[in-house]
Structure 1
Amino acid sequence: MYQKYNQQLNLNYLRTFNAIYSHRSIKKAANALGITQSAVSQTLAKLREFTNDKLFYTAGNELHATYRADEIGQGLNEHIELLDNRLSSRLFSDPHQFDGELTIAVSSVFLEAIATELTSSVVFDMFPNAKLNVTTWNDKTFNAIQNGEVHIGLNFYPIETPKSIRSVALTTSDPVVIARKEHPWEHSGFSQREFSTYPTGGILVPGLTDFSAILERQYPGKFDFQYRSASMSVLSCLAEHSDILAITETLSASMCPKSIQCFKPRWLSELLPNKISHAMYYLERNHHHPLYQYSSELIKKSLQHKLDELSPNVIEC
């Protein structure tokens, strides 16, 4: 039935509904929208009156959606994002003028490696007016990207992703062995057989099976890793003060101090035939948005700079 304009739903209420539906919390919805909890509650009351449905009920520590709320909420975030992109895509022409909010979830390995770039090159040089939020990648990151809480994710590729999320490989990740300078392993010609005679370790990569686990599973008896860490600084410290040989990858190895030597044994690359890359993740629908295209090139440039700095210090053997 036709309703007069002043009797129709204020479509801005749908943003509030979407925030409640995504976060299942009045408080979290208010924080995400940057408004008060009272304002969210008032809008929810108007939506309940308009739909003649409770929409959400409390069970435990979170809100649960009614059948009517699911009818409204499923796919709503995608529609809102699509409209936002239509309205704002052409507004992004000069990154120096961009004053929006950008939330980036970064794998712990990436965070250590390009922390300087994220806090200087990106923020102060390229996006001086932006509000940048940097968080750590975890098992809920893909949900956060789908809900609009995270705009860009940085992690390794390939990892399993929902169909709504695009992965863009940026730079190649190669396996590297790190050891202290003048390590006795050098006298053996960097052989695989001698490698296993020393204590060994490996990097843990969130969302991706780490190199060491692949080797242990595929070559039982040849590899027995005693140390693993998601922190490269921990592994490099172990290597610096002991005879440990640690398998990591190029971006991680770029953080090693000068007291650490990096090696790329041919036999190691042959044991790990599947190529791994450093990658950027974001919503598929944003693929042609100039903000994401620009960010992709900027991050790729930062990563490549780190890899280029490492390259002269790696001994291929």
Structure 2
Amino acid sequence: MAKDLFYSLDLNLLRTFLVLSQELNMRKASQRLFVSQPAISQALQKLRNHFGDELFVKVPKGLTATPFAEQLATSITPLLDGLASELNKSDLFDPKEINYPIKIAVSPIVLTCLSGSLFHRIKEQAPNCTLELIGWNHATMEDIQRDQVLIGIGYEQDAMLNVYEQKVAVLTGKIIVRKDHPIKTNPVSPQDMVGYEIASIITPGWNDNFSVAAEIMKRAGFEAKIGFRSEFALAAVSVAQHTDMYIPHSNLFPIEQFPALKMLDVIVNDSYMDTPLFCYYHSKYRRNPLVTWIAEQIAAVLNEQTSR
């Protein structure tokens, strides 16, 4: 009779297998599972004996998965995520009971405008939690996959396995310039911006190698030049305050905090420029009350900031 691979397996080992398949590193896996590296090695040996496969092979920078391990991870991840979601569901969710860190990654163009308001709103309802706001970077989507970041907030990204996107706002494009900038018209069109350089805010993984504003100018038939680029929104603000450069931004920008600047409407082809903003989180949390609550707080703060 063939061996029953399910009922003869300690299911705790599957957690180790999944984390190893995600991290491909014994040390990182041990840190995530809060066990020693020898314990990880012992669990891996049991898994190898159980499945009759090496599963993970050492390489210079860690581990690489065998074809069998890759296929197994792909097959069982949705099943275990669904089980985790069901076990973590609670009809009695109360934000006041949150007494652990919540890590949220925020794109640079949003971080400066959202961080304080979001912190105050969440702390009002969950006073015992620790809110960790970090900048969006190239690894954020993978960190969401690995449960190292709970939620990310940013513009639309390429789809990734097990990462769910939820639209939380639609931002309207604006241009930020200094108060005494030579441009006096409002709204402005691409033609009005000819001759002025762009101070571009970089969102890693989204516009690393291009400027959306420059692309819009080129499509309209006008030359565009990027004079400054930075992942730090306040650096672009400082440049705009002291030059004729302009910052492509949105109605999320807290213009009232910068009296030396003014915000201009943008019209392209007789229309305002609208861009959706998304929350990203692991698909296993789609019905999780904590994640649902956080997404609601983010959407509420965004609505307050953009409708002021």
TM-score above 0.5, yes or no: yes
8 A Cα contact 2:85 2:287, kept in partner? no
- 1:185 aligned residue: 183
**Once the 2 structures are TM-superposed, how far is the Cα of residue 300 of structure 1 from its aligned partner?**
0.8
Please state whether the residue corresponding to 1:90 is helix, strand or coil. coil
8 A Cα contact 2:88 2:288, kept in partner? no
Write out per-residue CA displacement over residues 32-91 of structure 1, whole angstroms, 9 at most, x where no aligned residue: 112222222222222233334332211121101224423432233322221111111126
- 1:315 aligned residue: none
8 A Cα contact 1:196 1:224, kept in partner? no
Matches within 5 A, 1:189-204: 192=189, 193-204=191-202
**Once the 2 structures are TM-superposed, how far is the Cα of residue 228 of structure 1 from its aligned partner?**
3.0
Amino acid at match of 1:170: V
**Count of matched residue pairs:** 302
Check 1:91–1:129 CA distance in 2 against 1; reply closer, same or farther (3 A cut).
farther
Check 1:284–1:89 CA distance in 2 against 1; reply closer, same or farther (3 A cut).
same
- 1:110 aligned residue: 110
**In 2, Cα distance between the equivalents of 1:155 and 1:255?**
23
**In 2, Cα distance between the equivalents of 1:89 and 1:252?**
36
- 1:135 aligned residue: 134
Q: Which has the higher helix share?
A: 1
RMSD between superposed Cα atoms in Å? 3.0
**Once the 2 structures are TM-superposed, how far is the Cα of residue 181 of structure 1 from its aligned partner?**
1.7
Q: Which runs of 5+ in 2 are unaligned?
A: none
**In 2, Cα distance between the equivalents of 1:191 and 1:48?**
64
Amino acid at match of 1:260: L
Matches within 5 A, 1:77-226: 77-90=77-90, 93-99=93-99, 102-122=102-122, 124-130=123-129, 132-157=131-156, 159-162=157-160, 164-186=162-184, 192=189, 193-209=191-207, 210-226=211-227
Amino acid at match of 1:248: H
Check 1:153–1:264 CA distance in 2 against 1; reply closer, same or farther (3 A cut).
same
Write out per-residue CA displacement over residues 222-249 of structure 1, whole angstroms, 9 at most, x where no aligned residue: 4333223332211211121223233222
Q: Which runs of 5+ in 1 are unaligned?
A: 310-317
Check 1:105–1:256 CA distance in 2 against 1; reply closer, same or farther (3 A cut).
same
8 A Cα contact 2:188 2:264, kept in partner? no
Write out per-residue CA displacement over residues 92-116 of structure 1, whole angstroms, 9 at most, x where no aligned residue: 6112113455432221222222222
Percent identical residues:
23
Check 1:128–1:34 CA distance in 2 against 1; reply closer, same or farther (3 A cut).
farther
**Once the 2 structures are TM-superposed, how far is the Cα of residue 132 of structure 1 from its aligned partner?**
4.6
